[in-house]
Structure formats: C-alpha cells, structure tokens
Amino acid sequence: MATPNGCPDPPAAAAADGPYIPAELIPDIAKHLTSLNDIFALRAGCRAYRATLPLCRDLLASQPPCLLVPHSASPSLPLFNLLEPGCPSFSLALFHVPDRRLHRFRARLPFARTGGVLTSDGAQVVAVDDATGEIIVTHLLYGAQAHLPKPPLPHDRVILTGGYLFAPATGRTDVQCSSPWTTTQWTVASYGGEHEIQDWHIVNGVLYGFLPTCGLVMASPSKGSSSMDLSPLGGEFDPQVLLAMQESKGAPLLGDCGGEVLLIFKVGSIDPAYKIFRWDASESMWATATSLGGRTLFIGFDDFAACIGPDVPGIRGDCVYGSLPWAGGWSEYSMIDATCKCFTAKYPGEPGVGFARPQVWVLPSLFCN
C-alpha cells in the first residue's frame, strides 16, 4: 500500500524496513550525509524523497571526484565483448577515487566496439554510436540525454566546453559546433588562415583557440555569414611553450583555473608529468604556472575536463589528476614538488583484459553549476 505522494504506507514501511521517515525531514537528514552512496540510497526511497531532495549544489559540493568505469556482471567476458551495443552484462559505474570503491550507481550508454565515451566536462558525458555516428550527451545523475546527428564533416575528436560541443574538422580550417540542449543541428564555421587550431576552450563565456605557432586567439562568429572571426591576442613563438610542445606526448590542451586561461602539455616518457602555462592578459604572453592556488585540474585521455577547488575533500590541491584508460586507473601529479603517483582502479565487476577502458572524470560538485 502506498500513500498518494508515492511513499510507502508508514506502518507497512516500519514493519518491513524500520522506522518510517516523513518526507519533510529528508533535507535535514541529507545535510549530515558525506557519501554519494547514501545520497543515492536516500533518494531511491520513494518519489516524495526525491522531490524533497533534489541533486543541488549544496548537497553535492562536498563530494569527491569519481571515475566513470565499465562494470560487468560477467567479469570473465573480455572488454571488447562488453562494448558491443546492447550487451546485457555491461554497465557504467562510478568509482570513488579517495575510497577506492564503487558507488551504488549504474548507467547505460550506447557503445560500439571502437566508439564509446569520448569526453566529459565533469558533469556531462559525451558518447558516440559508431554504427550511425550519432553523438549523445548524457547528464549522468539526472539521466537527461541530448542526441545529435553525425557531424557533416570528418572529425577526430569532440570538445565539450561551456555548454557547447565542438567537432573540429580534420585537415581543414573549419569547426563544427552545436549547443546540444537547445538544438539538434550542427553549425559549420570557417576561420580561414594557414593553421588549424589545436584546441578550443570557453572561459568566462569567451571562446579561445590555440594555434601551432603558440598564439592564443579569441573567436567570435561573423555576423551574417558562416565564418568565424579570430582576434590574435599574442603569445606567438614563445620559446618556453615551443620547448614544451617538443617534449609533449600528446596534443596541447586549453583549460582554465580561477578564471584564467591555461595551456597544458603532458610530458614524461614513463610517469605522466605536466608543463602548464597561464595566459597573462596584461602582458599578452604565456607565463609558467608554478601553482594552481590550491585548486586541482582533471585531465582526460586527450582533453581537459575541469578545475575544482580549493578545499574539496578527498583530493590534493595544486595537483593534476590524469585519467589513464590504458592502465585502468589515474595519476596524480603535484605542481609543488613535480612528483607523480599512479593508481589502478580495482573493483568487483572489473572487466577482463581487452582494449583501453572507456573512463572519464565525473565531478559531483559541478553537476549543478
């Protein structure tokens, strides 16, 4: 027997599961919860509990970072079998980084063997259906999905930043852009010039691009045309940035920290290390970053996820956390003493040996920004 608001009948609930808790007391109880597991369990009690306990920033701000990892009910299956679309044994789980354990959370996304998770901004996850090229943006905790058709031009990667999705065209000075929660169409804009932009990132509502000449540009759409205007800001042929580009083990990444534009290079042949520059707008030049002001950067396999902090429980300040899908874990690089530690994500239901795990960062404190 259930009450009209969706909660179990109080006497029945008391007999089956212990004391009945009135829905109006749930927000007060939630203030004392420190585990995302407990928040999920409390919201799962009934519809009234979920209505009085929305996933708001006040509730999630103290939650530490997680990795979205593959989970299998049949661990003996190799990973490449699990990634087949519709595999009943496959789901996604949240791995609690500080405590090294899984949350009671499962999600399904449309995977294909060579597709899967592409990127994350810490709150939303982008996946691709390799059979159709369709791109899906998922808000994990709310379950909302936005479906976009295959971009019209070939692309090697997608970038999720500032609520927009970018798919730079391969070998061309064109970029494809969409606002997935407001439209299902792609806009193709040409920015011309001699060089392809290496990375795009939105900081404080402004779209920036990084050129192979080390220059930073500010991009804005041209009125009445399908082109994009680039405004050079400086930084060309900076010797320190050129050296970092030579040492880099991947593409340069634009990011942000405390409202400033960052340029990030992953270096180091064995343990991941990073060279980071911040954009000095007053001098129109790149400056070496020696500190993050107590904040923490989160880097995916080939993308910038987010910056959080300072003072987020369970993580180290002035550090770069890097996802290591080929190793099934993550790295923690300290900006203070330039040391790196690598960790393996071990958990029940961990899939067998196969290709690189699809894993991205999920940062609960960003879900309601």
349: Cα separation from own chain's centroid: 23
- Contact of 91 with 107, CB cutoff 8 Å: yes
Match 């979205």 to its residue by tokens: 68
The pLDDT of residue 47 = 80
- H/E stretch holding 263 reads strand 260-267
Residue 340: pLDDT band (50, 70, 90) is: very high
* Three-class SS of 176-204: EEECCCCCCCCEEEECCCCCCCCEEEEEC
User: Which two three-digit tokens encode residue 228?
Assistant: 């994009």
User: Which two three-digit tokens encode residue 334?
Assistant: 């300290």
The pLDDT of residue 359 = 85
Residue 102: pLDDT band (50, 70, 90) is: confident
Helical residues (DSSP H) of the chain, grouped into ranges:
10-17, 26-30, 36-43, 47-52, 57-60, 79-82, 239-247
Opening angle at CA 231, ends 259 and 203, nearest 5: 15
The pLDDT of residue 26 = 79
Residue 163's region, left for phi above 0, alpha for psi from -120 to 50, else beta, is left
Cα separation, 100 vs 156, whole angstroms: 33
β-strand partners of 255: 262
pLDDT over threshold 50, residue 150: yes
- Contact of 306 with 121, CB cutoff 8 Å: yes
The pLDDT of residue 55 = 65
* Largest Cα–Cα separation, the chain: 74
- H/E stretch holding 66 reads strand 66-72
The pLDDT of residue 80 = 52
What single letter denotes the amino acid at residue 306? A
Mean pLDDT of the region 244-256: 95
Cα separation, 103 vs 94, whole angstroms: 5
Residue 206's region, left for phi above 0, alpha for psi from -120 to 50, else beta, is beta
Position with higher pLDDT, 58 vs 126: 126
pLDDT over threshold 60, residue 314: yes
Beta strands in 129-168 (DSSP E): 135-139, 145-148, 159-161, 164-168
Q: Which of 188, 241, 178, 183 is nearest to 212 (CA)?
A: 241
The pLDDT of residue 89 = 60
Match 């990444």 to its residue by tokens: 253
Paired sense of beta strands 124-128 and 116-120, if any: antiparallel
Cα separation, 297 vs 315, whole angstroms: 10
pLDDT over threshold 90, residue 109: no
The pLDDT of residue 239 = 97
Q: How many CB atoms lie within 10 A of CB 7?
A: 18
CA distances from 225 to 186, 197, 298 (A): 15, 20, 36
Cα separation, 136 vs 128, whole angstroms: 6
User: Which two three-digit tokens encode residue 341?
Assistant: 């530690």
pTM: 0.84
Q: Which of 268, 266, 288 is nearest to 278 (CA)?
A: 288
Residue 3: pLDDT band (50, 70, 90) is: very low
Residue 110: pLDDT band (50, 70, 90) is: low
β-strand partners of 307: 297
pLDDT over threshold 70, residue 48: yes
295: Cα separation from own chain's centroid: 16
β-strand partners of 201: 208
Cα separation, 366 vs 369, whole angstroms: 5
* 175 burial type by CB count under 10 A (0-12 exposed, 13-18 middle, 19+ buried): buried
pLDDT over threshold 80, residue 324: yes
